[in-house]
Structure 1
């Protein structure tokens, strides 16, 4: 524990480190001699009770003093901080009615200080603790792991990281599952809306790409990735998908009219770019006060706002520039349509009608 504490104390940002070794006060052991105790009628329990009465006294009555009662304790006229030599001469009344000294019936042993033993799941452990100041938790833990990587532990010993770091990792896992569930639900909804897999896959592809914007925004603002910024990622899923739905809803309409892929994307971009830009700007401006950090408690909400701003800015560029490229590439590489309406020319419709009349 001391070696671990010495190593982590050298890591920048680590303050208030403690090796976890707690010493208790020095103890005095009073061990009854079996033959001497049984000869005068003492058992282990009765001897412990008599010795405790001699040291601390015994409450014999109380004096009423409303609203509480004052206990009256009778004890020997001995100092509270007894030494071993004083305890040897302390009188003690045996069950046979005779009075003996404590040293004649028991061995008084002055023991040194002992350390506290802690267990968790029936395994002994020592908690080496520290606080973090002036740095983010993730980079500090990374440096601590590097400092302890070369430490040779005895057989059966291992190092487990807990506290705020363990809670942070658990929160990241839970938020990761929440983000995955949100993406899945949004994808299934778009499949039913567009009646194919191709357009939902193209739209969903912009979600991981928007993480570049989140990373850059957090890096420029010197904000670490934490629980609040993860909440911003969940909110970002809806905003990113919204832009794609606005664009490809218009693309789907032009596709049904038989336009080429290039014409579909150009017409959809010309029609929906204004709506995409305006909705993105309103979302960005709505969280700007949180990103600036105005008001009490703003530090907790600032990572959420910064992550949302960075993700929405990049996702808008991806929606207008890269999504059309992905869509055009998917048209030529593979098909995922479940039910795709195909445009029918007027000549083809006339032939169908004539075949029906015949």
Structure 2
């Protein structure tokens, strides 16, 4: 029936007509007068199986009624599509509102259901993919960090930049009133990769300072964060500025660009600020842990946390609440405050800055000119614009880069050598303060002793037991000790001021008076910076020889020019020129190479001689240290018991009248001389050990 109806009113192909090479379908249908209204459909004759023709209205009811204009099917189910365009709101919240209103106002019959497709379906699919992509991205970032640093500790520290960055991304989305979308999720993935860069820059520099021998954690953290503040800010600022046009865009595609850029900019702001605070704290924690106890859980550190100092004002001294300084505290303060050390640090930074000047091609030459002999095809002279650049042979730049690298090593070795010199001077001043304080205690004891003896002798002289001359001798001796004690006070004050000058420290502090021997050094240290300075200086002269050799290689030049004129039928003419500058007269260069070799050989011999002299001097110092060590051991085993016994017996015998005053003074002064000699030996031993450990030139 549908076939007959469509053929009568719509037409059906009955054959093909050819006109030359063209072909046209022959379509047959009712005449216009027979297909004007519904009555024509009712009277349409249709054949039946008996061969008779019957009208259409006997087979079906033909009438006008309302129905769907189109019936769509999906998976054998009828489907009705309702399309909505969302503006000025996010798609997710609109779908949530629609679902709430449908659930509240519409009750679906059995078999009916609602599906949300289109962009929302794409959003759901993308969100599900992000649920996999984000963890995979985080895992890959952590794996790459571990491969780069070969340390779980460093990888974990740098990985903390990711949650810090997430805070800023979410916060800026909230400030701008933007929902979380697929583009925002992609922005978070990009942000995670960018955020760890700041941590890599900072942690790598802190570890580099550690390898250079900087042991004080506070100095290391303050120096490292100060040195890397500008690179971190520039790295984050450059990335944020790159995303700024996307964040404020309003053209086509802005709804995708704005969330992505907003997440990256917000995350970079917070991660940069928090990285400079959180990462140094974590670095102090992880590299200050001695062990971890699980039951009960406790982290044991090598020393009390210094990281709290980072929250305090830098100008406040770390020893403000503890007025007694040990040697390591004094050394740390001196290294931090000494201006000479700061100057050498600047020299190191200068060397690093000069490394970038290794590749220094000549100035670019721009030229413009005309030549009446240089005629174009249109018969008029050409006006030529040209640019020329010359280069040294590439290996020369590599050789110069090697020279600058050696200069960096020399600057770093000089810094370490100066640090050793300062530590040695500070140690000497510290030991000198200790021995003067110990002598003050000793002479203070003597002064008190002679005060008691004077009182007793005056009583005994009144009774006639001793002569008046003995009383006067005791009084003279007491006065002599008082003078020596005052002189020691002046010397101690001067030594204290000298120590403060070396420390560049204005606050007041005290030095412990107990002078203990340092650990014995049994062999020459092979990591002394003075050796590095000498070897690097010798290598520097060798690198100058290589530069002179590379200067014999040809220079390169490239020239490009463009010619034309402003007359009719003018055209553009391109050209280029490549040239080599060969040193045909190389006698001067050979002389320079020979002179550089002689200078390098002379420096090598001088370096070997210096190393031999230093080694010999260090051997002598080790021998002197062994000598003082033997004296200290002898005093501990023999001298100290003997000294105490002499003091005790001399004082008791004098009080009992068994010896006279002069015998007492002779015996007691012998014991005091033994004690002073012991103090001097400890001082010389410590000075010798410090000279060996921190040897410098």
Distance 1:181 1:168 in 2: 20
The reply on whether 1:160 has 2:112 as its aligned counterpart is no
* Residue 312 (structure 1) shift: 0.8
Max radius of gyration: which structure?
2
Distance 1:172 1:103 in 2: 57
Question: Gaps spanning 5+ residues in structure 2: where?
Answer: 293-517, 526-697
The reply on whether 1:215 has 2:170 as its aligned counterpart is yes
In the alignment, which residue of structure 2 is the partner of 1:131? 85
Q: Check the 8 A contact 2:206/2:220 in 1, yes or no.
A: yes
In the alignment, which residue of structure 2 is the partner of 1:292? 248
The verdict on how the C-alpha distance between 1:57 and 1:196 changes in structure 2, with shifts beyond 3 A counting, is: closer
The reply on whether 1:316 has 2:275 as its aligned counterpart is no
Distance 1:160 1:348 in 2: 84
Distance 2:520 2:139 in 1: 40
What is the total number of aligned residue pairs between the two structures? 295
Of 260, 277, 283 in structure 1, the residue corresponding to residue 239 of structure 2 is: 283
In the alignment, which residue of structure 1 is the partner of 2:577? none
* Residue 191 (structure 1) shift: 1.3
* Residue 326 (structure 1) shift: 3.8
Structure with higher RCO (Cα < 8 A, 6+ apart): 1
In the alignment, which residue of structure 2 is the partner of 1:177? 132
* Residue 230 (structure 1) shift: 2.8
- RMSD over aligned CA atoms reads 4.0
Question: Gaps spanning 5+ residues in structure 1: where?
Answer: 1-29, 31-47, 336-345, 354-358
* Residue 174 (structure 1) shift: 2.4
The verdict on how the C-alpha distance between 1:247 and 1:88 changes in structure 2, with shifts beyond 3 A counting, is: closer
In the alignment, which residue of structure 2 is the partner of 1:110? 62
The verdict on how the C-alpha distance between 1:137 and 1:57 changes in structure 2, with shifts beyond 3 A counting, is: closer
Distance 1:92 1:148 in 2: 49
Q: Deviations over 1:76-126 (max 9, x none)?
A: 78631443x6555444566877x643269x422236455465444455544
Of 97, 107, 120 in structure 2, the residue corresponding to residue 143 of structure 1 is: 97
TM-score of the pair, normalised by structure 1: 0.66
| Partner SS, residue 84 of structure 2 | strand
TM-score of the pair, normalised by structure 2: 0.37
- The worse-fitting range, judged by mean Cα deviation, of 222-231 and 210-219 is 222-231
Q: Please give the residue correspondences for 1:1-358 in structure 2 after superposition, counting only pairs within 5 Å.
A: 67=22, 69=24, 71=26, 73=28, 75=30, 79-83=34-38, 87-92=41-46, 100-102=53-55, 106-110=58-62, 112-115=65-68, 118-150=72-104, 151-256=106-211, 257=213, 259=215, 261-293=217-249, 300-330=256-286, 332=289
The verdict on how the C-alpha distance between 1:76 and 1:278 changes in structure 2, with shifts beyond 3 A counting, is: closer
In the alignment, which residue of structure 1 is the partner of 2:648? none
Distance 2:268 2:168 in 1: 8
Q: Check the 8 A contact 1:276/1:316 in 2, yes or no.
A: yes
Distance 2:42 2:243 in 1: 76
Distance 1:113 1:78 in 2: 26
Q: Deviations over 1:318-346 (max 9, x none)?
A: 211222334445565987xxxxxxxxxx9
- The worse-fitting range, judged by mean Cα deviation, of 267-276 and 211-220 is 211-220
Q: Check the 8 A contact 2:164/2:271 in 1, yes or no.
A: yes
| Partner SS, residue 282 of structure 1 | helix
Structure number with the higher helix fraction is 2
